[in-house]
Amino acid sequence: MNKFQFGHASSAQWEEAVQHCLFQMGTISPDANLGFLYMTDLLVESSPDILNMFKQQTGIKHWVGTTSIGICSTGIEYFDVPAIAVMVGHFPEESFQVFNSITTHEGFEHFSRQHRPWCEEKSCMLGVVHGDPTNDIISALIYQLSERLDEAFLVGGLTNSRSYHIQIADDVVGGNNLGLSGVLFSSNVAVSTHLTQSCYPIGQRHQITEAERNMIFHIDNRPALDVFYQEVAPYYSEEIEHIVHDVLVGLPIQGSDMNDYVVRNIIGADAENRVLAIGDYVQAGTPITFVQRDKEMAYNDLKKMLVHFKTHNAEPKGALYYSCLGRGASLFGQNSEELRVIKEVLGDIPLVGFFANGEIYHQRVYSYTGILTLFF
């Protein structure tokens, strides 16, 4: 087994950061044929030059990646500093295909013409994807891509930037309304992926009985705010303005257990009309629960996932980790605690990733989760 080669560095000069990464990676294997590249948004203007230097120095032409406020590598997190995390590896011949940004539903026609024959011949199994949160239909594009790929599973995250967004799909594409890009892997690539939550349910599971867009009017045929108060009362005594910042909504995935749910923020409450507004569109019949972020619960769930990986899998060649900006330093602490836990359990494995504005797992955009993908 040949482990992937990786490096990470922070420097005010991007050339220096690239050189530090290359030094850590050592002599690049001549078989290496795919690179993953993540950089903080403070380097976004230099991203084309950074990618070109890695291409020239490694001889690898296929790359995927994006930018974020925070990126990560083995045992370390970089927030609010100019930083790069890079990993390269060898994959079997014709076992992957990089695809460019899909920005609209119509864009799938070009995608199908270009990639469908390969997907059918090679049995596409996994897509590592990066999405643009400024694209209004990004959730629909993720779902449609998953459907187009039949049995393929999607993992990834939404870009995070205080300037403009970029995605890397062999070349750098920048701007707004980028859509989805990434790399598809065939069944020839051995991989394992899992999701960890950082919230736990408060109270019971309910059902939305009246809603319009992101406004919830009734839950269990009762005013939504009444049900909310009933569930959070044992935990909070503050006014509603304070509570909605601490409590979130969990929308359980229908057909699964309570451990699989997407989390959305409560963005407003109408005390007079007893209405809740959340950060997603919902409809009558949707199951709902209220959840709370918790550091100890997040740590235990992450540790449980990692121990399961360690127990049931061989040592990986490399790993990708996509975590929510609401985790990392803001939940676990300032000393790279989240990534240190991963290193503590799995060891010093090659790993890169970023802190996302929404995490992509299977067909949906999640929040407050961590997604670990291991290559074998």
Strands of the 364-366 sheet, one edge to the other: 96-102, 180-186, 124-131, 153-158, 359-361, 364-366
**196 contacts: CB under 8 Å, gap ≥ 6:** 298, 301, 302, 304, 305, 369, 370, 371, 372
**Token representation of residue 254:** 């229908």
pLDDT at 216: 97
What is the pLDDT at residue 27? 96
Same domain, yes or no, for 147 and 100? yes
Residue 296 near residue 355 (C-beta atoms within 8 A): no
Choose the final residue of a domain: 262, 292, 322. 292
Q: At what angle do helices 14-25 and 47-58 cross, to 10 degrees?
A: 30
Q: Examine the fold and report which residue of 274, 292, 310 is the final residue of a domain before the chain moves on.
A: 292
Q: What's the pLDDT at 312?
A: 85
Same domain as 287, residue 303: no
Q: Do 182 and 77 lie in a common domain?
A: yes
pLDDT digits (tens, 9 = 90+) for 59-89: 999 999 999 999 999 999 999 999 999 999 9
Number of domain units in the chain: 2
pLDDT by 10-residue block (mean), the chain, 376 residues: 92 97 97 98 97 98 97 97 98 95 91 92 95 93 92 93 93 86 96 93 92 96 93 73 76 68 90 93 94 92 94 92 94 95 96 97 94 97
pLDDT score at 258: 44
- What is the domain range of residue 82? 5-196+299-375
Q: How big is the chain by its Cα radius of gyration, in Å?
A: 21
User: Nearest 5°: phi and psi at 337?
Assistant: -60, -40
Which DSSP string do the residues of 282-322 spell out, in sequence order?
Answer: --TT-EEEEEEE-HHHHHHHHHHHHHHHHHHS---SEEEEE
pTM for the model: 0.91
Residue 318 and residue 180 in one domain? yes
Please give the single-letter amino acid code of residue 39.
Answer: M
Is 218 in the same domain as 313? no
* Measured CA distances, 174 to 93, 132, 177 (Å): 29, 10, 9
Domain boundary among 292, 322, 357: 292
Q: Both 117 and 157 in a single domain?
A: yes
In a shared domain, residues 19 and 109: yes
Q: Are residues 139 and 221 in the same domain?
A: no
Per-residue model confidence (pLDDT) at position 234:
77
Position 293 scores a pLDDT of 87
Q: What is the pLDDT of residues 107-131, one digit of tens each?
A: 999 999 999 999 999 999 999 999 9
CA distances (Å), origin 274, targets 214, 233, 289? 14, 16, 17
For CA atoms 78, 80, 81, 82, give the dihedral sign.
positive
On whether both 90 and 231 belong to a single domain, the answer is: no
Residues 286 and 305 in one domain: no
Q: Tell me: do 24 and 143 sit in the same domain.
A: yes
β 96-102/180-186 pair status: antiparallel
Does 208 share its domain with 352?
A: no
